[in-house]
Structure formats: structure tokens, C-alpha cells
């Protein structure tokens, strides 16, 4: 069972009163992250977004398209919140790898209280829908390509693309464990160890 903490949502205000479409997306993302596609209702989403129910049909057509757009909105917002690191020419690949892994951990974990964007994307990865393919192509694949290029540089191009991808998936898997099995990890280790060592920098040092 994934570790998904739930926080009670209040009316959406951050998107601005003049942006009903943005408010709907944020409200829908929170509702879908908490309840899943089937249990979340258009009425609850519109109440949270402070818009008329007809607004969903006007902006998105139906609930299915709203869900897909909510997942897209989630990864766009998360990318803005925690953008990929940028490196100057000559940066050593070992530093690039550590920076990349630390960045990925920060994006995935959302320590203490993971934002709805993290929870929605985790739900989509664990229980894929039609939105997952767009999530992979628009968000996950570009990041994975960066990781593989770092690994290829680190190994001086001596490994085949398939070997590099396997290593990349192993790195991603280690990071993903701390999010998807966060509750289990918390049961396996002492509380003070989790508090002191389970942060992006220390975990990145260990994984790399």
C-alpha cells in the first residue's frame, strides 16, 4: 500500500478568482489525489473550485478529460516547484548524478506532507489509466533520458543502451521505494533514523 497522506482541502483561491479553469484543475487534482477517479465527483470538485457544475463541461468536456488534464497539470506544477538541476560545462558526471537523484527524491517524496501533485502522480503510477501514457511521455521519459545520459557519461560510454537503462531503472526504483512504500520503511527503521537520515541529500549520497 502506498504511503499517501491526506489533507482536507479548502476552497481553491491560489489560482485566482479570474481563472476558473485553473481553479477547477487544482480542485480536481486534490480530489482525484485523495479519492481516485471513480470516487471523486464533479459536484465536489466544483464546490472546492467555487464554480458552477456546468463549467467542467465547458472547459473539459467530461470527467475523463478533466482527470487527464489534472494529471498533466500536476506534473507541470511539480516541475515548476522542483525543476531539474542545470549544470555548467565541465561539471563532473558524479556530481550530476548526485544532484539529479537528490532532485528526484525531493520531487517524489514531498517530505512531511506531500503535496497533492505528488499524491496524484503516485496514484496514477500505481493504478495506471489513460493519463499514464501522457505522464510518461511528457514528464517521466524526459527525466529518465537525462538520467541515462548522465550514467552513459559516468561509464564513459562503455555500456550498451540497454545496460544503461537497467541501471537507470534501478536508481529510480531505489528512490521510488521511499515514496511508494514509505509507511513500510517507517516500520522497518527507528524513528530517529528516519528523521535524521531520510532527507534528499543523505539519501542521494547513499544511492549514488
Residue 32, pLDDT above cutoff 60: yes
> What proportion of the chain, given as a percentage, has pLDDT over 70?
89
Q: Is 52 exposed, middle or buried (0-12, 13-18, 19+ CB in 10 A)?
A: exposed
Q: What is the pTM of this model?
A: 0.79
What mean pLDDT is predicted for residues 3-29?
Answer: 68
Q: How many CB atoms lie within 10 A of CB 156?
A: 8
Please report the domains of the chain, with CATH numbers, ordered by start residue.
20-79 (1.10.10.60), 83-207 (no CATH)
pLDDT grade, residue 12 (50/70/90)?
low
CB 207 within 8 A of CB 101: yes
Percent of the chain residues topping a pLDDT of 90: 51
Point out the least confidently predicted range of 27-41, 76-90, 145-159, 184-198. Answer: 184-198
Contacts of residue 62, defined as CB under 8 A and 6 or more positions apart, other chains included, come to 56
State the cell numbers at 39. 470516487
Task: Quick: pLDDT tens for 111-142.
Answer: 556 688 888 988 888 888 888 888 888 888 99
- Please check the confidence at residue 18 and state whether its pLDDT lies above 90: no
pLDDT, mean over the chain = 87
Residue 26 is predicted with a pLDDT of 94
pLDDT band at 185 (very low <50, low <70, confident <90, very high): confident
> In the prediction, which pLDDT does 4 show?
41
| Residue with more model confidence, 169 or 17 | 169
- Would you state the pLDDT for residue 9? 52
Tell me: pLDDT of 92 over 90.
yes
Whether the per-residue pLDDT at 2 is higher than 60: the answer is: no
CA–CA gap between residue 44 and residue 31 (Å, rounded): 8
Amino acid at each position: 500500500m502506498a504511503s499517501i497522506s491526506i489533507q482536507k482541502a479548502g476552497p481553491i483561491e491560489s489560482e485566482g478568482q479570474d481563472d476558473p479553469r485553473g481553479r477547477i484543475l487544482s480542485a480536481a487534482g486534490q480530489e482525484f489525489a485523495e479519492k481516485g477517479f471513480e470516487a471523486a465527483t464533479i459536484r465536489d470538485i466544483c464546490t472546492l473550485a467555487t464554480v458552477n457544475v456546468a463549467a467542467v463541461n465547458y472547459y473539459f468536456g467530461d470527467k475523463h478529460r478533466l482527470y487527464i488534464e489534472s494529471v498533466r497539470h500536476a506534473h507541470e506544477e511539480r516541475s515548476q516547484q522542483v525543476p531539474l538541476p542545470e549544470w555548467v560545462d565541465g561539471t563532473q558526471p558524479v556530481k550530476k548524478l548526485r544532484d539529479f537523484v537528490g532532485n528526484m527524491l525531493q520531487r517524489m517524496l514531498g517530505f512531511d506532507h506531500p503535496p497533492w501533485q505528488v499524491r496524484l502522480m503516485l496514484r496514477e503510477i500505481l493504478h495506471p489509466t489513460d493519463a499514464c501514457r501522457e505522464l510518461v511521455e511528457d514528464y517521466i521519459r524526459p527525466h529518465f533520458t537525462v538520467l541515462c545520459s548522465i550514467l552513459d557519461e559516468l561509464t564513459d560510454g562503455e555500456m550498451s543502451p540497454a545496460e544503461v537503462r537497467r541501471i537507470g531503472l534501478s536508481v529510480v526504483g531505489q528512490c521510488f521505494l521511499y515514496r511508494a512504500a514509505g509507511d513500510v520503511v517507517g516500520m522497518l527503521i527507528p524513528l530517529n533514523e528516519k528523521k535524521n537520515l531520510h532527507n534528499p541529500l543523505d539519501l542521494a549520497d547513499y544511492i549514488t
